[in-house]
Amino acid sequence: LGFRKALGTSYKLGPGMSIASAARLPARLFRSHRLASASAAPRHRASFGACALGSALRGQPGHPPLFFGDAGLLARWSACRATPQTMQDICEAGLDESRRLEHVRFLHRELRIRLAHAAAVLNGLLPDLAEGHGIHDTVKRHVDSIRDLEYGPCPKTPAENHEFVRLLEHMLAYHGDDTYHVVRDVCRSTGSEDQELQVNTALERFFLLRIGTRFLLRHHVEASRGSRPGYSGVVQLDGDPAGIARRSASASARLCRAHLGQAPPIRVVEDGCGLPAFPCEPAALSYVLTELFKNACRAVVERHAEGFDDDLPPVECRVARSEAGLLVEVRDEGGGIRPEQLGKIGRFGQSTSSVSPWSSIGNGPAEGHPAGVLAGYGVGLALSRLFAQYFGGCLVISSEVGVGTTATLRMTWQGESSERLPLLSQAVTPALPEVY
């Protein structure tokens, strides 16, 4: 930090500049502006391991090493491992104010790690993608948020937590369109099958980190506003999956009628009543179920376009709760998915819709936002699968050509089980410069 003040500058990532190359800038300036006391110091080569570089470079206990500028912040925090939380810890922090103050100190550090990991994933995309305006601007927003946390105080009192909550609310709004900007750049690019798989793997890591980060942000903000009956933050302690399914079905049918003129009936049946409570986040479950219902309704209408609502075969939904978790099956008679498409279902940018709305979107977010669109972006199923994974489950799509499709959703995140975060390889973490 002293050298940053001595140099009187900080560094921001430019278009096409990787974290690793940007991180080497301060080191070269460091050599040319060497202080007399540093010239006699022995050399130390920096290498990644845990959150320290050895006794010669070690900062405060438990904190990663210090480097310079924005690139240094990314290098510093992306070297650390994220800490998955259990559902029990999250719920207790939302209900107990003393635990909440302890949790907010954890968040102050953990958010920087997760944001740095997400930025590193995006910066590691193929060069033509990493240079895209949407992805570049998203990385910049992540750097901005890391900087806000880095130079803001760690809350220790309820009053300081109140100010911290205002910062988290700003971050939620600031990153609200990241999904749109990132996927837009990806859908406009072309590449080989291997490149598409590589990009899809990177996007899965980025969005899984995003889901977990925003869940922690929203949970702490909601818990700090005051507890709602039956809730801990955004978690409904005694969840009502069947009720969520019925509301999602109603919203999906209305959307289908608005876009296609008609919609099939959706029947929701619940099994396993009277079993122990299943804590869940209603917003996440509603998002996934709405995506499944939208796809089912569209398939049925497109296959049976000659009929009226009463003549369309229904979409069947079964909601089953058990001590092992939640199971939801959504079945339709929309004719199924061709085998060559089924293998790509769940990838970003892949859609069964014949019309892609991306083709009419310009450079500005106001020219066409995904909200309220029935299909075509190739995002809904991919994100739904990651939501299921984050909450300890999976989403499986099976199909019989000429008959229909079945989507099976499982969620098992309860008690002492931890949130599912991506395992980032060493390739994601940028190389550090030599330090003299």
Q: What is the pLDDT of residue 288?
A: 97
- Range 342-349 average pLDDT: 83
- Mapped onto helix, strand or coil, the DSSP state of residue 402 is coil
pLDDT for the residue 197 = 87
Among 2-11, 13-22, 39-48, which is the least confidently predicted range?
39-48
Query: Is residue 30 over pLDDT 80?
Result: no
Q: Which residue has the higher pLDDT, 110 or 422?
A: 110
Dihedral angle computed from the Cα positions of residues 129, 134, 139 and 142, in that order, rounded to the nearest 10 degrees: -150
CB 188 within 8 A of CB 358: yes
Domain 235-351+372-411 -> CATH class: alpha beta
- Per-residue pLDDT band at 56 (split at 50, 70, 90): very low
User: SS3 of 58, please?
Assistant: coil
DSSP for 85-125 reads PBHHHHHHHHH-HHHHHHHHHHHHHHHHHHHHHHHHHHHTS
Per-residue pLDDT for 218 more than 60? yes
Helix boundaries (H) for 175-281: 178-187, 193-225, 241-260
Residue that wins the pLDDT comparison between 282 and 22:
282
Predicted local confidence at residue 351, as pLDDT: 64
CATH class as words, domain 68-231: mainly alpha
Q: How confident is the model over 78-103, as a mean pLDDT?
A: 90
CA–CA dist 130, 294 (Å, integer):
32
Q: Tell which wins on pLDDT, 367 or 394.
A: 394
**Tens-digit pLDDT profile for residues 406-417:** 999 999 877 778
Place of tokens 């990493």: 130
The answer to whether residue 239 scores a pLDDT higher than 90 is no
Q: Which pLDDT does position 49 carry in this prediction?
A: 30
50-57, Cβ contacts within 8 angstroms, sequence gap of 24 or more: 50/81, 51/79, 51/80, 51/81, 53/432, 53/435, 57/435
Query: What ranges do the domains of the chain cover?
Result: 68-231, 235-351+372-411
pLDDT, the chain, mean: 77
With a cut of 50, say whether residue 8 has pLDDT above it: no
Which range of 18-27, 103-112, 302-311 scores highest in mean pLDDT? It is 103-112
Nearest to 326 by CA among 384, 363, 271: 271
- The first and second tokens of residue 366, run together, are 């106001």
Give the pLDDT score at 187: 78
Predicted confidence at residue 369, as pLDDT, reads 39
Quote the Cα angle for 300-304-305, to 5°: 105
User: Quick one: pLDDT at residue 307?
Assistant: 60
The count of residues in the chain is 436
| Most confidently predicted of 73-82, 98-107, 205-214, 332-341 | 205-214
Q: Are 346 and 381 in contact (CB under 8 A)?
A: yes
- Say which residue, 52 or 185, is predicted with more confidence: 185
Gyration radius from the chain CA atoms: 24
Q: What is the pLDDT at residue 432? A: 34
Rounded Cα distance between 44 and 56, Å, is: 8
| Region 8-16 average pLDDT | 42
Alpha carbon distance 391, 412 (integer Å): 6
Residue 310: which pLDDT band, with cuts at 50, 70 and 90? low
Q: Which of 27-36, 67-76, 340-349 has the highest mean pLDDT?
A: 340-349
DSSP string, 60-86: STTSPPP--HHHHHHHHHHTSPP-PPB
Question: Is the pLDDT score of 67 beyond 70?
Answer: no
Query: What's the pLDDT at 84?
Result: 93
DSSP letter for 227, please.
P
Span 144-169, average pLDDT: 94
Which stretch of 43-47, 136-140, 321-325 has the lowest confidence by average pLDDT?
43-47
Section 330-339 average pLDDT: 94
Residue 373 binned pLDDT confidence (cut-offs 50, 70, 90): low
Cβ proximity of 138 and 118 under 8 Å: no
Q: Which of 83-97, 155-169, 342-356 has the lowest mean pLDDT?
A: 342-356
Annotate 321-384 with DSSP letters as a single string: EETTEEEEEEE--S----HHHHTTTTSTT--S-S--GGGG--SSGGG--STT--S-SS-HHHHH
